[in-house]
Amino acid sequence: MTSVREWIDSGRHAVAERWHNAPRWMRWAVIAAVIVFFYALPNREFYQWLGPIPTTGSNFGQVLFTVSIYVLLAVGLNIVVGFAGLLDLGYFGFFAVGAYTVAVLTSPSSDLKTLWPWLLALPVALVLTMVSGVMLGTPTLRLRGDYLAIVTLGFAEMIRVAATASDFLKGQRGFNQIPHPPGSYSDGKPIFGVLDPRPYYWLVLTLIILVVIGVRNLNRSRVGRAWISIREDEDAAQLMGVPTFKFKLWAFASGAFIGGLAGALFAGKQNFVSSQNLELLNSIIILAAVILGGSGNIVGAIVGGGLVAYLIERFRGIEFFGVELYEYRFMFFGLVLVVMMIFRPQGLIPNRRRAAEFKDRRKEVIVGG
Amino acid sequence: MGETVQKPTVPEQAGAPAVESTAGDREPLLEVDHVTLRFGGVVALNDVDFTLYKGEILGLIGPNGAGKTTCFNAMTGIYQPSEGEIRFRGERITGKKKHHITKMGMARTFQNIRLFPEMTALENIQVGADAHHKTSVISALFRLPRHRREERDGIEKAERLLDFVGISGRMHDAARNLSYGEQRRLEIARALATDPVLLCLDEPAAGFNPAEKEELLQLIRKIRDQGITVLLIEHDMRLVMGVTDRIVVLEFGKKIAEGLPAEVREDHRVIAAYLGVPDDDVA
């Protein structure tokens, strides 16, 4: 077992090292190729050549949309958990705030009867989720570790219960006829329709790219350093002049913004939002995705979120000795997590600080030789 | 170092106790004014009272558990004194936020090293330099000119400081991969990056061999020559005697002596505190 692990590890190190030593243009070329691949992925003409990768039990475009939403959520939660080290078990609550804000403002079944278009409701939803992040954060960010985890868990449950019980939020009946995002093809057909999930996927994919650029900029600035210093040693950070409370709030607000964005996109695609969308399990899945991918690393969060959401969908429609695998998806998921925590607790793609190590080891060799 | 804010001049108190033979009429930088600190029934600091003057190196010594680090923690805002107050640059700092006190110009290191282990040496120092940066989240998000400028300044300053403490070769190494001595130096560099007027070093020589201690002495003198006042907690008497201008001695939370190194060394209470006294000598 150990030798297998060493073999995998050395392989990964080699890949990482080659990546960090590659010339700039080559890295950009690889990134561009990956992006093109994912834009092409939902087209049948493309994915039919990919063997077992496309899902059999459900529309592949639809699956890709779900996966992309999870990726977006994982990127957002990674700011809170991975960078700032704040254990947030209620992250899905922000998704709910985003989705419900859009629903309340746009749906004909809403009591407000405002019937706004989706695009107008979007910025309101984003602002409201950020505000909810600050509202949740202001009293709770004085707590640390386990205490914060429990309070955030309570936040997500509160939102779920409120959505189920309140007349205004329509409970399980939910909101229907939520409008789609705007835009139409030259022949007058809407781009974002009911039948074709691909435009939604492309929209989310584009937004993921923008969000990742933004998060990367933050991470490589004073803000990112403040977050990581808080994760590493909050007291020391404070004594080095980091206004820790302020930056923890920013971590919460930025994470909430991205969660709200995912919720608003989901509502715009799905037409329908009800309290059944708000299971606690969702918060746990996203957290597991971040940890699986490599907490504190943006690429890790993307890979984790994508992998987890994809595998869960992939199980659909596969029968094994007469047993529908999809029914046991969470068992497999749990098993994978346990195995990961034993053999690779830092996640599939660990945090960026490792990269610097590789670089320097190489430098030392050159100096020494 | 770049710090130009002048302390508002405090009117000299008439008839102030002229205990400090050497301090003369120098400007007080930090005043620990009859500070008492209790944790439940334990009195950690008992009416501790001393003044630190601009430009000096003051040694704070005493046996284990004497309250030296507690005193540091009260100064840097971790603990709030139960009685008395602490003034820094003439301003009362009791009750002020920790990061605020740092911005006012007080920086410290820790007895048990507390770097940010996963961050590189460079990034550790950048965190310190960020104390005076004003880049907002928005300007970081869009990489606006202020972000770029401060980022460049921060890196330049970090490189200079790494060089100053003599570990420029380890710039891109994670702090946890540095040797013990390098980590101690990195902590000093990180503290210096906040542009302090007062640098508090909490046993910086702990675990050093004599050669390393000698290098540290040089470094502390170099820091003082930059115009930074130094407060030094230290166990090693030789080191303290070699570098400090004045010494304050604590025992069981009380100040038992204060003065020039030579005076303190001869003080019988200090000798008793450090070496112990035969039982029948205790009056």
Residue where the block lists tokens 């640059």 = B89
Give yes or no: residues A177 and A30 share one domain. Answer: no
At A276, the pLDDT band (50, 70, 90 cuts) reads confident
Query: Is residue A84 one of the residues assigned to a domain?
Result: yes
Q: How many CB pairs under 8 A join A and B?
A: 107
User: In the predicted model, what is the mean pLDDT of residues B176-203?
Assistant: 95
Contact at CB, A214 and B190, closer than 8 angstroms: no
Domain count across chain A: 2
Out of A221, A236, A363, closest to residue B114 by CB: A236
A227-231, A238-242, A311-315, B158-162: least confidently modelled range: A311-315
| Residue A175 scores a pLDDT above 80 | yes
At A353, the pLDDT band (50, 70, 90 cuts) reads low
Nearest CA in chain A to B104: A241
Query: Is residue A45 one of the residues assigned to a domain?
Result: no
B200 φ, ψ (degrees, to nearest 5): -105, 120
**CB-based contact, A233 to chain B, within 8 Å:** yes
User: In the predicted model, what is the mean pLDDT of residues B144-151?
Assistant: 95
| Residue B13 scores a pLDDT above 50 | no
pLDDT in tens, B35-46: 999 998 899 999
A59-73, A168-182, B22-36: least confidently modelled range: B22-36
**CB-based contact, A243 to chain B, within 8 Å:** yes
Using an 8 Å CB-CB cutoff, list chain A residues near B107. 240
Residues of B with CB under 8 A from a CB of A: 76-78, 97-99, 102-103, 107-108, 110, 114-120, 123, 126-128, 130-133, 135, 137, 140-143, 147, 150-151, 154, 172-174, 177, 190-191, 194
Which tops the pLDDT comparison, A112 or A227?
Answer: A227
| Residue A192 scores a pLDDT above 50 | yes
Using an 8 Å CB-CB cutoff, list chain A residues near B150. 222
Out of B108, B117, B172, closest to residue A356 by CB: B172
Give yes or no: residues A146 and A226 share one domain. Answer: yes
| Residue B17 scores a pLDDT above 50 | no
Out of B107, B140, B194, closest to residue A223 by CB: B140
At B279, the pLDDT band (50, 70, 90 cuts) reads low
> What is the rounded distance in angstroms from the CA atom of residue A190 to the CA atom of residue A196?
10
Sequence-separated (6 or more) residues with CB below 8 Å from residue A11? none
Give yes or no: residues A75 and A122 share one domain. Answer: yes
pLDDT of residue A369: 33
Which tops the pLDDT comparison, B198 or A21?
Answer: B198
| Residue A164 scores a pLDDT above 70 | yes
Shortest Cα–Cα distance, B124 to chain A (Å): 8
**CB-based contact, A237 to chain B, within 8 Å:** yes
Share the mean pLDDT of chain B.
87
pLDDT of residue A352: 54
Contact at CB, B117 and A232, closer than 8 angstroms: yes
Domain boundaries, chain B: 26-105+196-275, 118-195
**CB-based contact, A366 to chain B, within 8 Å:** no
Tell which CATH classification among 1.20.1290.10, 3.40.1800.10, 3.30.1330.10, 3.40.50.300 matches the domain B26-105+196-275: 3.40.50.300
pLDDT of residue B278: 65
Contact at CB, A360 and B172, closer than 8 angstroms: yes
Which tops the pLDDT comparison, A1 or B230?
Answer: B230
Half-sphere exposure of B37 (CA within 13 A, CB side): 28
A147-156, A198-207, A232-241, A337-346: least confidently modelled range: A337-346
Cα dihedral A264→A270→A275→A281 (10° resolution)? -80
At A322, the pLDDT band (50, 70, 90 cuts) reads confident
| Residue A48 scores a pLDDT above 60 | yes
Query: Is residue A324 one of the residues assigned to a domain?
Result: no
Q: At what angle do helices A244-270 and A198-219 cross, to 10 degrees?
A: 170
Give yes or no: residues A16 and A88 share one domain. Answer: no
pLDDT of residue A361: 47
User: In the predicted model, what is the mean pLDDT of residues A104-128?
Assistant: 94
E strands present in chain B: 28-39, 42-53, 57-61, 83-88, 91-92, 106-108, 198-202, 229-233, 246-251, 254-259
| Residue A368 scores a pLDDT above 60 | no
Contact at CB, A353 and B133, closer than 8 angstroms: no
Contact at CB, A232 and B119, closer than 8 angstroms: yes
B229 φ, ψ (degrees, to nearest 5): -75, 140
Sequence-separated (6 or more) residues with CB below 8 Å from residue A217? B140, B141, B142, B143
pLDDT of residue A65: 95
Q: Is the dihedral of CA A112, A114, A115, A121 positive or negative?
A: negative
pLDDT in tens, A198-231: 999 999 999 999 999 999 999 999 999 999 999 9
Contact by Cβ (8 Å): B194, B102: yes
Query: Is residue A369 one of the residues assigned to a domain?
Result: no
Q: Give the domain range for residue A112.
A: 58-292
Using an 8 Å CB-CB cutoff, list chain B residues near A356. 120, 172-174
Shortest Cα–Cα distance, A256 to chain B (Å): 15
Q: Which of A258, A292, A326 is the last residue of a domain?
A: A292
Shortest Cα–Cα distance, A328 to chain B (Å): 38
pLDDT of residue B8: 43
